Structure 1
Amino acid sequence: MASMERKQLILSPFVPRRNAVRKTSAEIVSEARQSLRVQSTQRPFTPREGHRHLFGKSSAHVDRDNRPPSTFSLHAQNFDAPDSRPGSGTRLSPLDHKPHLPVPCNVEDPFKVFPKPPADPLEVKRGQPRTRARILRAGSLTILSPVEGHKDVKERLNQGPGQKQTSVKRLPSTDHTEARSGPHKPGPRRAASERRVKESGVDPGVRPTECRAGQRTELGNGDKTRSTEEDAESLVWNNVIAPLLRQLESVAAGSSEGSVDPLCDLCDRLHGTLAEADMLGRRCKRRSGILRTLFCLIDLHSARLNLHIAKLCLALCVSGNNLLNICKLIFQISRSESNDILFQNNSIIDSFLGVLSHEDVSSSGEALLYCVGTLKFLSGNSAILRLLLDKNCVGVAQKLIQRLCTAGDTDFTIAGHILVQLTAALRNLADHPDARPLFISFSVLSELFVVLRLHHKDPDICTNISRIYSKLSSYSECRLALAQTPDCFQLLLELLSKHHQKQDLVVRLLFTLGNLTAKSDEARLQLFQCEGCMETLLQLYATYQHRNDFPHPLKGPPLLSRPQASSASVQEDEDVLVKLVRVLANMCIHPAVGPTLANNTCCIQLLMETLELKTVLESEELMVNVAATINNLSFYQEENSALRRSQLNIAKLMLKLVLSSSMDAMLEATRVYGNMSQSKDVRDFIMQNKVHQFVVTLLDSKSTEMCFSACGVLTNLTLDPPNRLSLAAEGADAKLVDCLRDFGAGDWQLAGQVCQALWNMSGGGGSETLLDTQERESLVEILTTYLDEEEALKWIENEDIKDYHRANWQLQFLPVAQKLMKSLQPLDGTA
């Protein structure tokens, strides 16, 4: 009866059974250590592009033929100087009709119903001292045909041969809105013409045929204000701006290598003057003259000067073709890394971020493209990256994403081009630690899922977003934001299925799924419950396991008839398998997922196939991950499951890992043996193949994890009485005592496992123990010290850590140690 009680006291095999009782934190930690383990792996490496291009050579963009170019030439002649045409470039056709007179004409004297013509345009009124006289051009007024009987009009329009023809020759002017060459653009000149007409007393809004004879024109308050503003603008123009423009032209005419500095200074002075006079944007009526002068400077081909020009042109709100060319100019400068320092010392970043914030996709899509391309290049520079974050670049990008996602079908292609650049820039921004909270606060991660749904056929966009997710999913706050996005897991699985041949996309999506399932039980279940989850993952597993097929000895043609895959290709495919197996290992931790995977014949066969085809020397990380997955699945030892039917074959395959030189591989294989040695067949295999000798040797390891796993195997092996003598012959009991002395006080889980192995070796407290007197006395001394709580925990000062160790001491060590101590006391007393 006593022997039966002693046998019942022997703890169950290495892996404890689950129960419905709520566990303490220490039990949870212990259970995780003993059985189910989360797998980690390195993030996929993204090589930096050697050259800056809109679309790299590896780009697989769907619209390759119609992609905007990365290289082009820009000259002053490419710009529209007046900048007054509509953004679409459409010119209006003249109306085909003849105006009619709104009032009846007097047949005898038709001129009686028309107003008197304005004063002679050459007549200059005397103003205040030192004020430039305003000269009116006759050519700017509407001229009526001379009518017989109206002599004064004839005389004004048809002057004698000795008089000057005012309508032919114009007086010199500093008004830079005059075009030197090229077609006349009506916008600015018309405004100047109307202003001159108004000053002469004629309302430009009323046609001459509508004026009543003798009617007087009076200026209202609004007209007086406008006139005052125009006078102030003219004063600033004549005294400051016009001289600056002339100086710019003069310095540029004698340009040399040393003239760039004064030109940059002049541009800055011009910018500051316009800002002080509130003449930036489109408020300056002579802005076309400024733009014309600036555009001419572009032909000097100075990157630093061109950035000053671009900043001023954007401040003047250029549009249409000019906006596109300015964005191209900035893009062209940013293509050279040596120019990055220019962007750090110039506020041009604020200017093109303003373009990204306000320009419309339909009217300025190509300009936005080159602007975002610049952002992509500059975000690769760590110093500029910090500037971009300070200037709310993430917020600007989020708003732009929303506009691009709502673009119509006609703008879908250009929106896709822009998103390729924008997602690449966000990928660079995601590298900075300060960007992570911004990605969350601006909901960029969820916005990118909208992009994925709309542009799921574009592999470049999908790959860039997968790189963002693979970077940010390594952090808990970002994982939470991703997991809370509706249909997150389903969409990622659909992308894996659609782009299954694109290795760089697949590996990053799998890495993201591995991160999401690493710490969250809810995420594991959500992924598993997605439609087609296991079919997609296992299909990927089979595809990448055989893409560069290692010829199987029993399958397929001989090696010589197959083309040899490159080592880089083999490594890339293996990287996919590493990430995929990690997802499986993490998923099966969930109690509702694990049993299903353990019974999935295809899953178990693929894992075993990997162990058979690969070697630890060439594929260490993959082999370790496969062993860890099998270890997690072996926790679910259900009758007739696929895993249980294959456990003896798995035990044989684990010999490759145990006998390798990799400590990680040995550790995972030992854990697998620790779980599977619950089976009598596996225990017999271990003893027959001398694996137990290797396990005993592991007790000499300096690693507590290795000793813990070895103790687990020994605990199960000692369930069979014949095995105890073999283990004692290898010195297992003495090594267990040394292990308890060396590591017990710092690891009570390990101490409890050692005591259990010693208890089993003694046959449950019987007389089978082979410890000699000295070893027994040493064991009693150790147990006596460890069983005293104050003595056992006195070395721990931190109270939180002390509570954790106390919980483990009480739950994992104390019951087994007391039992072992009790079995040793009678022997000690007789001695």
Structure 2
Amino acid sequence: MMDQATKRNKGDRPFYQPPENIPTSAEIVNDARQSIGRPLQVVKTKRPFTPREDRRSLFGPTSTRNPETRPPSAFSLTSRHFDGVDSRPASGTKLSPLPHRPSCTSINEEQTPRLPTEPDVEVLLPPKPPTDPNKASRKVPRARVIHSNSVDASSPESLGINKSGSLTDLSKQTEGSTTDSNRRTHSGPKERTPIPKEERGEGDGKEMPHRAPSQASVRSPPRSASSREVESRASSGGTKRTSSAGSTGRGGSAGKRDAEESQEETMFYTQNIAPRLEELVHLGKKREGEKLCECADSLYKLLQRENLLGKNCKQRSTILKSVFKLLDLEEPKVLLRVARLILAFRVSGNNLLNVCKLVFKVSRNEKNDPEFLRGNILELLSKTLSCTDHTSSCEALIYCVGAIKFLTGNTTIVKQLVKENCIEGLGQLLDGINKTNRENGKVNEQLGHILVQLTAALRNLADANSSREKFLNCHIVEGLCTVVDTYAVDGDLMLNISRIFSKITLHTDCCTVLADQPSSYKSFIHLLNKHLQKSDMVVRVCFVLGNITAKNDEARVRLFQENKAFDVLLSVLKLYLEMDLKAQGKEEKSDDGERGNKLNKREDVMIKVVRVIANLSINETVGPLIASNAQCIDLLLSILEYKDIPTSEELVLNTVATINNLSYYSVKTSIISQQQMRVIEALLKLVLADNMEGMIEASRVFGNLTRQKTVRDFLVQHKVDQMMVTMLDSGNREVVYISCGVLINFMVDEEKRPALKKEGGVKKLIEVLRDFGRTDWELASLVCQILWNYSGKITSTNACFGEQEAQDLLDLLIEYTDQDSALDSSFKDEETDEEMKKYYYETWREFYPVAEQLLHRLETHQSDFEPLENPGAP
């Protein structure tokens, strides 16, 4: 029974934590299958390192884009760049321009008295459009402006424009219309009463936001305004005209209910919103940043609570024009508060472009990153991605996504962006761009600029723990494959996508999705061929291909069968091998200061290409074809002949693993078999290099090549058999297994058997059988096979194995060939599950025939007498 202390300790262990010093069933099965399974192996390697950019810029310093056609990363931006007033109607329908523009700037200017010496000004009035479109328009005679207190029927003040666009004589209007030259008319869908001069704010610079509708009014012609007039109108509280900020007035007739709502809204604006706007402007002039931020947050919360954000707020234009004045400040936290208000109102056109530039400008400095975690600016940026038309607001999206790209360099912000559905927004934008390119049938360069920012942002978002599921759900992998097909010549874009794939293909589910894409293999091979000299891209594309072929056997076949795919891989390996040979002996400075060591990019490319070849060779159909490729084998052996473990460990080990996979196929056309002595000589360097990993990998190849007696003889001359015996002392299951595999072949030759006993190999094999037998029946079977080959000429058990060794071996074999005794010992662990029990039983059944035959031989030749060396001698 378990004592109380043991029970207490076991109970204190968390349920998810495995027992200490006791391997779980899954670990045992995995270890056994890796060390004793198929002799072919998948090669692993590290993901290519991506150095961090020192400066945040729209396009990196290595960009190949033409500076003249791409948007700039630096620019000046003030309140003057934002639109205050626009003549676009509330419906959003753009009016066609009038055929003629008067030479005077406004009617009110003509109403201003002039000195008698000033000459009269002639004004050309726009012609009346014909009622019949087939008739030519008549010329309208010029009208002379008469400066007097009375209104002439022919003067511009007495003429308006009716709904059809024709001129209307205002002097003939019904009762209730005005002819006073000191009053102005209001444009709009409803007739409005004229506003007195003092009420419309011409004296004090203020203007009432709303007026009650009247029975009749006329639409005034559009007027051009200078920037000073725009600022004065913005400071006065707005206008009824629609701007690019997007004020939306009501059109058509309005009922009593609408009028009552308008009064309530006007009162709410006057009592709650207007004071905050005045305070904002006041604090902005004083440049009191903290108070200004508090006031801006208060205004935002108020508008959000009353559901006045978006495009439905009637005072939207008025609020925005007041907010625009704060953009001349330089404090980042203030600018972000302002940008949040502007984005929340869903501006468009020039204002959207400039607010995206504003956010981009603030995000360029890493010190401002904490400010983006305050408020919901990240949520608004994510929403902008999905609700902005990429065709009409292309430049705005470039800066918007560019800002997100900068922010994704911050791990804390990345987590928040994932929560705010930024990946979904980027995925939707990606799909929209692909659809536009597909419909147009050609590549759009400006959309390519967006994609560069978008893919760079996705590259950083791919590091988040919860991002992989979103990548798959939003079909981003498929979308990126479409971009690869469309923009294959765009080096910047392809580099970003290769970086994304190099991250997400570390996971099996993403590898599966990418491998299932019909054009993925063709696209990757095309990229390698197109950008052969760009090591940054080539190394990542090869890494992705290595990930895809690591676990997917179908992918190995599809990649190898792709037209000229293997030839391109060999051309990459040959090019970078030749480049490395030319640079051999030259010192290279690392481009990566963070690693602190020299980085040979050419060697890194070779590592990734060799890994792809190793993974391809696992397939039983592809492997023999690669083993028969003379160029491939020559390149691999060339790497082993001039590279060594101390300076190029990963490249050498990957190359040996590839040769091991290829040496498994003993076909007549195998170049490995034809050049086996060259292979053995190259591998001997690893055995003598005092590097355990190198010795293990070389021993794998020895296990395949020692099927030939010439190879065995050569290795014995170099005492490799003694090394294999020494490796039996290793506590590493994999090392012991590999040593046993080589020793089995050595024991075929009778003249090589005495060395096993002389080096203490028999005793070590019995210890291996005792230590690993109950948990690894396949390894135990290998030990029995070695001893069976060794005892082929046996005459006496004691003479062959040694007296003590023979007795120990007999005891172990008797115990192991008894099913109850052997398997009860294997199942003594309480946590052994049914799968593990089944695995033990199946492997024991394979062990039993070999052990039973060896036991029978031992028992048959068991005797206390030593055989005579020369029985016939006297």
Which residue of structure 2 aligns with residue 266 of structure 1?
Answer: 295
Q: Work out the CA distance in 2 between the residues paired with 1:53 and 1:89.
A: 38
Cα deviation for residue 533 of structure 1 reads 1.3
Cα deviation for residue 734 of structure 1 reads 2.4
- Alignment check: 8 A CA contact 2:794 2:800 kept: no
Does residue 808 of structure 1 match 2:843?
A: yes
Structure 1 alignment gaps of length 5 or more: 1-24, 123-135, 143-156, 158-162, 193-202, 206-219, 553-558
Does residue 780 of structure 1 match 2:797?
A: no
Structure-2 change in CA distance of 1:168 and 1:404 (3 Å):
closer
Question: How many residues were matched structurally?
Answer: 731
Which residue of structure 1 aligns with residue 491 of structure 2?
Answer: 459
Q: Work out the CA distance in 2 between the residues paired with 1:112 and 1:419.
A: 56
Q: Secondary structure at the match of 1:363?
A: coil
Q: Secondary structure at the match of 1:116?
A: coil
Structure-2 change in CA distance of 1:238 and 1:582 (3 Å):
same
Q: Work out the CA distance in 2 between the residues paired with 1:616 and 1:499.
A: 30
Identify the match of residue 297 of structure 1 among 317, 326, 339: 326
Q: Work out the CA distance in 2 between the residues paired with 1:646 and 1:633.
A: 12
Does residue 115 of structure 1 match 2:173?
A: yes
- Alignment check: 8 A CA contact 1:548 1:570 kept: no
Query: Per-residue CA shift, 1:674-727, capped at 9, x if unaligned?
Result: 110001110111112222121221111121111111111111111111111233
Identify the match of residue 46 of structure 1 among 47, 50, 65: 50
Cα deviation for residue 83 of structure 1 reads 5.5
Which residue of structure 2 aligns with residue 682 of structure 1?
Answer: 711
Cα deviation for residue 497 of structure 1 reads 1.3
- Alignment check: 8 A CA contact 1:473 1:516 kept: yes
Query: Per-residue CA shift, 1:16-48, capped at 9, x if unaligned?
Result: xxxxxxxxx999948973511111111111122
Cα deviation for residue 120 of structure 1 reads 6.5
State, as a whole percentage, how many aligned pairs show the same letter.
38
Q: Work out the CA distance in 2 between the residues paired with 1:420 and 1:86.
A: 36
Structure-2 change in CA distance of 1:531 and 1:462 (3 Å):
same
Q: Work out the CA distance in 1 between the residues paired with 2:645 and 2:384.
A: 54
- Alignment check: 8 A CA contact 1:407 1:415 kept: no
Which residue of structure 2 aligns with residue 248 of structure 1?
Answer: 280
- Alignment check: 8 A CA contact 2:84 2:230 kept: no
Query: Per-residue CA shift, 1:80-103, capped at 9, x if unaligned?
Result: 22255699999964323433899x
Cα deviation for residue 181 of structure 1 reads 5.5
**Amino acid in the other structure paired with 2:421:** N
Identify the match of residue 484 of structure 1 among 505, 511, 516: 516
Range that drifts further, 685-694 or 674-683: 685-694
- Alignment check: 8 A CA contact 2:200 2:208 kept: no
Structure-2 change in CA distance of 1:454 and 1:729 (3 Å):
same
- Alignment check: 8 A CA contact 1:35 1:632 kept: yes
Does residue 385 of structure 1 match 2:430?
A: no
Structure-2 change in CA distance of 1:582 and 1:204 (3 Å):
closer
Cα deviation for residue 72 of structure 1 reads 2.2
- Alignment check: 8 A CA contact 1:718 1:724 kept: yes
Q: Work out the CA distance in 2 between the residues paired with 1:286 and 1:784.
A: 95
Q: Work out the CA distance in 2 between the residues paired with 1:688 and 1:45.
A: 44
Cα deviation for residue 353 of structure 1 reads 1.6
Identify the match of residue 517 of structure 1 among 549, 569, 576: 549
Does residue 430 of structure 1 match 2:462?
A: yes
Q: Work out the CA distance in 1 between the residues paired with 2:842 and 2:611.
A: 31
- Alignment check: 8 A CA contact 2:199 2:208 kept: no
Q: Work out the CA distance in 1 between the residues paired with 2:475 and 2:99.
A: 52
Does residue 529 of structure 1 match 2:561?
A: yes
Structure-2 change in CA distance of 1:738 and 1:610 (3 Å):
same
Higher relative contact order (CA 8 A, sep 6+): 1
Within 5 Å, give how 1:156-305 maps onto structure 2.
173-175=206-208, 182-183=228-229, 189=239, 191=241, 222-255=254-287, 259-305=288-334
**Amino acid in the other structure paired with 1:818:** E
Q: Work out the CA distance in 2 between the residues paired with 1:566 and 1:249.
A: 55
**Amino acid in the other structure paired with 1:116:** T
Structure-2 change in CA distance of 1:723 and 1:112 (3 Å):
closer
Q: Work out the CA distance in 2 between the residues paired with 1:300 and 1:455.
A: 40
Structure-2 change in CA distance of 1:89 and 1:45 (3 Å):
farther
Cα deviation for residue 114 of structure 1 reads 2.8
- Alignment check: 8 A CA contact 1:361 1:411 kept: no
> Please, what TM-score do these two structures have when normalized by structure 2?
0.77
- Alignment check: 8 A CA contact 1:548 1:565 kept: no
**Amino acid in the other structure paired with 1:139:** R
Identify the match of residue 820 of structure 2 among 773, 790, 804: 790
- Alignment check: 8 A CA contact 2:86 2:241 kept: no
Does residue 74 of structure 1 match 2:50?
A: no
Query: Per-residue CA shift, 1:344-382, capped at 9, x if unaligned?
Result: 121011212222111112221111011101111222222
Which residue of structure 1 aligns with residue 98 of structure 2?
Answer: 94
Structure 2 alignment gaps of length 5 or more: 1-28, 101-125, 132-152, 154-167, 188-193, 211-222, 243-249, 592-597, 866-874
Query: Per-residue CA shift, 1:653-683, capped at 9, x if unaligned?
Result: 1101111222111101011001100011101
- Alignment check: 8 A CA contact 1:137 1:166 kept: no
Q: Work out the CA distance in 2 between the residues paired with 1:226 and 1:374.
A: 42
Cα deviation for residue 601 of structure 1 reads 0.6
Does residue 605 of structure 1 match 2:637?
A: no
Q: Secondary structure at the match of 2:550?
A: coil
**Amino acid in the other structure paired with 1:53:** S
**Amino acid in the other structure paired with 1:182:** R
Range that drifts further, 63-72 or 762-771: 762-771
Cα deviation for residue 472 of structure 1 reads 1.2
- Alignment check: 8 A CA contact 2:200 2:207 kept: no
Does residue 446 of structure 1 match 2:478?
A: yes
- Alignment check: 8 A CA contact 1:83 1:319 kept: no
Q: Work out the CA distance in 2 between the residues paired with 1:711 and 1:71.
A: 67
**Amino acid in the other structure paired with 1:77:** R
Range that drifts further, 773-782 or 606-615: 773-782
- Alignment check: 8 A CA contact 1:595 1:636 kept: yes
Identify the match of residue 577 of structure 1 among 602, 606, 610: 606
Q: Work out the CA distance in 2 between the residues paired with 1:509 and 1:331.
A: 31
Query: Per-residue CA shift, 1:370-418, capped at 9, x if unaligned?
Result: 1101111222222221221112112111110012223357981221111
Which residue of structure 1 aligns with residue 664 of structure 2?
Answer: 635
Which residue of structure 1 aligns with residue 366 of structure 2?
Answer: 337
Which residue of structure 2 aligns with residue 624 of structure 1?
Answer: 653
Query: Per-residue CA shift, 1:93-150, capped at 9, x if unaligned?
Result: 4323433899xxx9xxx9999333426699xxxxxxxxxxxxx9812269xxxxxxxx
Query: Per-residue CA shift, 1:576-617, capped at 9, x if unaligned?
Result: 111111111111111110110111111111111111010011
Q: Work out the CA distance in 2 between the residues paired with 1:827 and 1:462.
A: 72
**Amino acid in the other structure paired with 2:208:** D
**Amino acid in the other structure paired with 2:467:** A
Which residue of structure 2 aligns with residue 145 of structure 1?
Answer: none
Does residue 365 of structure 1 match 2:398?
A: no
Structure-2 change in CA distance of 1:26 and 1:324 (3 Å):
closer
- Alignment check: 8 A CA contact 1:427 1:467 kept: yes
Q: Work out the CA distance in 1 between the residues paired with 2:173 and 2:79.
A: 46
- Alignment check: 8 A CA contact 2:699 2:739 kept: yes
**Amino acid in the other structure paired with 2:55:** H
Q: Work out the CA distance in 1 between the residues paired with 2:700 and 2:200.
A: 102
Cα deviation for residue 739 of structure 1 reads 2.1
- Alignment check: 8 A CA contact 2:434 2:479 kept: no
**Amino acid in the other structure paired with 1:250:** H
Q: Work out the CA distance in 2 between the residues paired with 1:492 and 1:121.
A: 76
- Alignment check: 8 A CA contact 1:785 1:792 kept: yes
Q: Work out the CA distance in 2 between the residues paired with 1:672 and 1:182.
A: 84
Q: Work out the CA distance in 1 between the residues paired with 2:475 and 2:705.
A: 46
**Amino acid in the other structure paired with 2:80:** Q
Which residue of structure 1 aligns with residue 684 of structure 2?
Answer: 655
> Please, what TM-score do these two structures have when normalized by structure 1?
0.81
Structure-2 change in CA distance of 1:428 and 1:522 (3 Å):
same
Q: Work out the CA distance in 1 between the residues paired with 2:443 and 2:861.
A: 89
Structure-2 change in CA distance of 1:665 and 1:167 (3 Å):
closer
Within 5 Å, give how 1:759-770 maps onto structure 2.
759-763=788-792, 770=800
**Amino acid in the other structure paired with 1:622:** L
